[in-house]
Amino acid sequence: MDLSPVSAGAVGSIGGAGAGDTPVLINALVLLDPIAAPADSAATLPVSADVALFLAPAKDLPAISGPPAFEVKAIAIGSVVLDLSDGYSLTIDEARSAVFVAHGDTGETILVWGNAQIALDGADDARFWGTTTVELGNGTKITMETAQDPAIAGLFRLDKLTVTQAERAMVITGIAETTLGDLAVVQSHEGEALDAATRDGLTIVADLTGSWSDEYGNAVTQTVLNQTAVGRRYGPGKRTLSLREVSGAISSFVAYAQIDSLMLTIGRNLQGAPTRSDNSEVQRALALYAGGSDRLPIA
C-alpha cells in the first residue's frame, strides 16, 4: 500500500468552512493501512470519507505569554494545567474560581475555590480574605491574592496567583468567575525579583510531619486564617511582613552595615584619620548605595 502523503488538493472533500466561509486547510493526509486484508483480496478502499473536525477558537483559550518557565500540560476554554515539577501540578478552573495543586505520588492536595475557601489535603474547608502564600515541598511559592466582589459587600474572591520557584515565575490573573474569558498566564525567568516584590501575607508551609502550619508552627485552622480577615494583621490591603520577609530585611540591613563599616575602614587606611569632608564623601557614597538596596517596608 502506498503510504506517501496525499496532496491537499486530493483531500478537498475532507475540508470544512471556517469563520467567514474560509476553507479549513489540511496540509497533508497520510493513509496508514486502515483496512487489513490479504494481498489477493478484492476489497477496495472507499474513495471518500466524511470527517468532522472540531477546533476550539484560540481567542477563547487562556492567554499564555512570556518565555516558558513552567510547562503547560493541558489547556482548554477557561482552564489550564501547569507542571510545577517534582510531581506537583497546578490546575486553574476559571468557571469555579478554583485552583487545585496536587502531588501525583504523595497525594498532597490544595484546593482553593469560590469566595477564597481552602481545603488542605482534603480536610474540611476554611476561608481566607487577604493575601495568603502556600510553600510547597519543592520550594515553589504560590501567593494567592483576592479581589472584592463588585456585587457583594465583604465578599472576596481568589483573583491572582504569583508562582515562583528560584528564577522561574508566572503570574496568573483573571481567576475570578465574575468575568469569564480573561484568564491569563504571564511567565518569566525573573522569579527572585518577582518574589521580592510580592508581599507574602499569611504564609502556610508543610512541617516535618507533613502537616500544614503557619510560620510559627501553629496548625492551620480557621483561627489562623482569621488573621487575613478585614482589619486584621494580614487582611486585604495590609502590608504586614511575613517572618521570612522580616528575616530577609534583617539580612539586608546587616549586609548594609557591613558595607558601611568596610567603606569607613578603607577610607581610614587610604587617607588616615578622615576629615569632616572625607566623612561627607563616604556618607554620600553610602547614600547612593542605599538608594539601590532593599529597605524594610512599612507594615
Q: Cell numbers 490544595 correspond to what residue?
A: 110
d(CA 90, CA 142): 10
pLDDT of residue 243: 85
pLDDT tier at 259, thresholds 50, 70, 90:
low
Most confident among 10-14, 48-52, 191-195 (mean pLDDT):
191-195
Q: Is the pLDDT of residue 223 over 60?
A: yes
pLDDT of residue 94: 92
Instruction: Give the whole-number percent of the chain exceeding pLDDT 90.
Output: 47
Q: Is the pLDDT of residue 244 over 70?
A: yes
Sorted by where each begins, the domain ranges of the chain are 1-55, 58-240, 245-291
pLDDT digits (tens, 9 = 90+) for 124-182: 889 999 999 999 999 999 999 999 888 888 899 998 999 999 999 999 999 988 888 99
- What is the grid cell recorded at 5? 502523503
Mean pLDDT, the chain, as a whole number? Answer: 77
Q: Is the pLDDT of residue 285 over 90?
A: no
What count of other Cβ atoms lies within 10 Å of the Cβ of residue 196?
13
- Mean pLDDT, residues 31-58: 52
Q: Are 35 and 27 in contact (CB under 8 A)?
A: no
CA 96 to chain centroid: 17
Tell me if the pTM is above 0.85. no
